[in-house]
C-alpha cells in the first residue's frame, strides 16, 4: 500500500478535526499540552532568532536557493501532526505555496507551528560552522523541549482518536 499523499493527509486532518475537535479541546491534558507546546514553540523561535539561525536560514533561502525545505519533506507529516497545527490555528495550504519546495514553505518560511523533528532539529554544515557552539547548544535545548511536548501531545491525540474510533 502506498503512503498517503500530503493532500490526502490534509483532508484526513480536516475530517479528524471536524469529528473530534471539540472533544480534543475539552480533554484537559490535550488542552494543557497545546498551551505548553505553543509556549515552547515561541521559545524555540526566540532561540532561533537569538542564535542567528533564523537570519542565516532566510539568507540561504533567498540568496542561495535553500535546500532544507525541499519538496518531499512534507511526506514526514502525519494527519495527527496536521491536526495539532489546526488546533494551534494554522490554515493548511491547498495547493502548495512553492511547488518546488516543501508543501508547507511559504514566502516567509514555514507556515506550520508544530513541525516534524527533522524540520526543528536540522542544522546544515554552514550553520554548524558559522554559529557559535554556545548559541547552538541553547537552540538545541529549546528545540528539545519543544519536541518533547510535541511528542507527548501527538501520542495523546493519536491514542485519543484510536480509542474512540474502535
Asked whether residue 22 is domain-assigned, the answer is yes
The pLDDT tens digits of the residues spanning 21-30 come to 999 999 999 9
Query: Into how many domains does the chain fold?
Result: 1
Closest to 78 measured CA to CA, from 163, 160, 147, 13: 13
Asked whether residue 162 is domain-assigned, the answer is no
**Residue 105: DSSP 8-state:** E
Asked whether residue 133 is domain-assigned, the answer is yes
Residue 61 structural domain: 6-153
Is 4's pLDDT higher than 80?
no
pLDDT computed for residue 3 by the predictor? 56
Question: pTM, whole model, 2 decimals?
Answer: 0.92
**Residue 99: DSSP 8-state:** T
Confidence class of residue 71 from pLDDT cuts 50, 70 and 90?
confident
pLDDT computed for residue 1 by the predictor? 42
The mean per-residue pLDDT over the stretch 116-123 comes to 94
Asked whether residue 164 is domain-assigned, the answer is no
Asked whether residue 21 is domain-assigned, the answer is yes
Asked whether residue 69 is domain-assigned, the answer is yes
Asked whether residue 44 is domain-assigned, the answer is yes
Closest to 121 measured CA to CA, from 97, 150, 98: 150
Asked whether residue 143 is domain-assigned, the answer is yes
105 beta partners: 110
CB 146 within 8 A of CB 43: yes
Amino acid at each position: 500500500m502506498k503512503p498517503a499523499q500530503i493532500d490526502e493527509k490534509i483532508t484526513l486532518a480536516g475530517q479528524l478535526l471536524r469529528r473530534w475537535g471539540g472533544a480534543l479541546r475539552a480533554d484537559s491534558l490535550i488542552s494543557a499540552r497545546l498551551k505548553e507546546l505553543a509556549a515552547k514553540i515561541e521559545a524555540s523561535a526566540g532561540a532561533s532568532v537569538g542564535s542567528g539561525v533564523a537570519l542565516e536560514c532566510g539568507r540561504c533561502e533567498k540568496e542561495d536557493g535553500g535546500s532544507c525545505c525541499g519538496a518531499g519533506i512534507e511526506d514526514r507529516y502525519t494527519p495527527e501532526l496536521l491536526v495539532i497545527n489546526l488546533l494551534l490555528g494554522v490554515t493548511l495550504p491547498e495547493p502548495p505555496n512553492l511547488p518546488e519546495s516543501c508543501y508547507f514553505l511559504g514566502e516567509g518560511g514555514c507556515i506550520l507551528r508544530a513541525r516534524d523533528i527533522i524540520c526543528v532539529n536540522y542544522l546544515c554544515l554552514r550553520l554548524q560552522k558559522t554559529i557559535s557552539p554556545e548559541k547552538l547548544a541553547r537552540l538545541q535545548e529549546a528545540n528539545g523541549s519543544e519536541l518533547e511536548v510535541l511528542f507527548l501531545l501527538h501520542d495523546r491525540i493519536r491514542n485519543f482518536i484510536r480509542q474512540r474510533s474502535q
